[in-house]
Amino acid sequence: QKEVEQNSGPLSVPEGAIASLNCTYSDRGSQSFFWYRQYSGKSPELIMFIYSNGDKEDGRFTAQLNKASQYVSLLIRDSQPSDSATYLCAGKNTGFQKLVFGTGTRLLVSP
Amino acid sequence: DAGVIQSPRHEVTEMGQEVTLRCKPISGHDYLFWYRQTMMRGLELLIYFNNNVPIDDSGMPEDRFSAKMPNASFSTLKIQPSEPRDSAVYFCASSFGTATEAFFGQGTRLTVV
């Protein structure tokens, strides 16, 4: 079992809808979580990070963390075709710089 | 800053040959990471350095893989001998201190035939 699990998708949503991307993790030592976006053939780029239980909002993006359930999610409001990409969830233990990534969820936003 | 720079962008080599991938981290960053990405396994951490010192190489798959960081501005990942199953995209990333974000280079797409 991988330490960070994601559904590979694709997740298809129409333009303007809310896209919900989910991630579970097995290492309870993981304290910080990161969402990276990766366009096809490109490198990952950070969208958001979260380390406290609850919600964190940044523009159209909201990250949610539930440490009791070992669950992380990313909501994308008003989805745009340009949001079509693979979204990578990653976890990090406190004190370590090692990021452990899930395999990613492919998101397709149709016009 | 130009970001993390990797070379070459693409490499095609024959099985058994030595392959060297290169990385220049962002100036001032003290952490450097080497990742490998495949469809099946996703993005896997191979090794990371702090202040040029290898900290965790538990992700290095075999003795055929080795990585060095002779100074703060340069790192190499070497595969000798290469095998077809080494075909993947290799990313280098760097970060500063306990800052949360790791910045990725554009990657090297390695194909071993």
Range B100-104 average pLDDT:
85
The shortest CB-CB distance from A98 to any of B48, B105, B106 is to B48
Smallest CA–CA distance, residue A48 to chain B, in Å, is 9
Residue B2: count of CB within 10 angstroms of its CB: 7
A30 or A95: whose pLDDT is higher?
A30
Residues with Cβ within 8 Å of A6's Cβ and at least 6 positions away in sequence, in order, are A21, A22, A23, A87, A88, A89, A102, A103, A104, A105
CB B27 within 8 A of CB B48: no
Residue B104, helix vs strand vs coil: strand
Disruptive mutation site among A46, A49, A97 for chain B (greatest number of B CBs within 10 Å): A97
Question: Counting one residue from A and one from B, how many pairs have CB atoms under 8 Å apart?
Answer: 49
Smallest CA–CA distance, residue B55 to chain A, in Å, is 10
pLDDT value at A97 more than 90: no
pLDDT value at A95 more than 80: no
pLDDT value at A55 more than 80: yes
Residue B18: count of CB within 10 angstroms of its CB: 11
Backbone φ and ψ for A83, nearest 5 degrees, come out as: -80, -10
A88, two tokens: 């990578």
pLDDT of residue B99: 61
Q: Which residues of B touch A (CB under 8 A)?
A: 31, 33, 35, 41-45, 48, 50, 55-56, 91, 95, 98, 100-102, 104-107
Q: Is A103 on the interface with B (CB under 8 A)?
A: yes
pLDDT of residue B1: 63
Specify the range with the lowest mean pLDDT, choosing from A53-57, A91-95, A99-103, B78-82: A91-95
The shortest CB-CB distance from A98 to any of B42, B43, B56 is to B56
How far is residue A51's CA from residue A53's CA, in Å, rounded to a whole number? 7
pLDDT band at B98 (very low <50, low <70, confident <90, very high): low
Scanning the structure block, which residue is given the tokens 């760097």?
Answer: B94
The shortest CB-CB distance from B101 to any of A46, A102, A103 is to A46
pLDDT band at A25 (very low <50, low <70, confident <90, very high): very high
User: B104–A44: do the CB atoms touch at under 8 Å?
Assistant: yes
Kindly state the DSSP code that residue B89 receives in the 8-state scheme: E
pLDDT of residue A1: 61
User: B104–A98: do the CB atoms touch at under 8 Å?
Assistant: no
pLDDT of residue A27: 84
Residue B105 Cα to chain centre, angstroms: 9
CB A30 within 8 A of CB A92: yes
**Alpha helices, H only, chain B:** none
CB < 8 Å & 24+ apart, contacts of B67-73: B67/B34, B69/B32, B72/B25, B72/B30, B73/B24, B73/B25, B73/B27
Smallest CA–CA distance, residue B18 to chain A, in Å, is 25
Kindly state the DSSP code that residue B100 receives in the 8-state scheme: S
Q: Please compute Rg for chain A using Cα positions.
A: 13
Per-residue pLDDT tens over the stretch B9-67: 999 999 999 999 999 999 999 999 999 999 888 899 999 999 999 999 999 988 999 99
A77 or A31: whose pLDDT is higher?
A77
Nearest CA in chain B to A49: B100
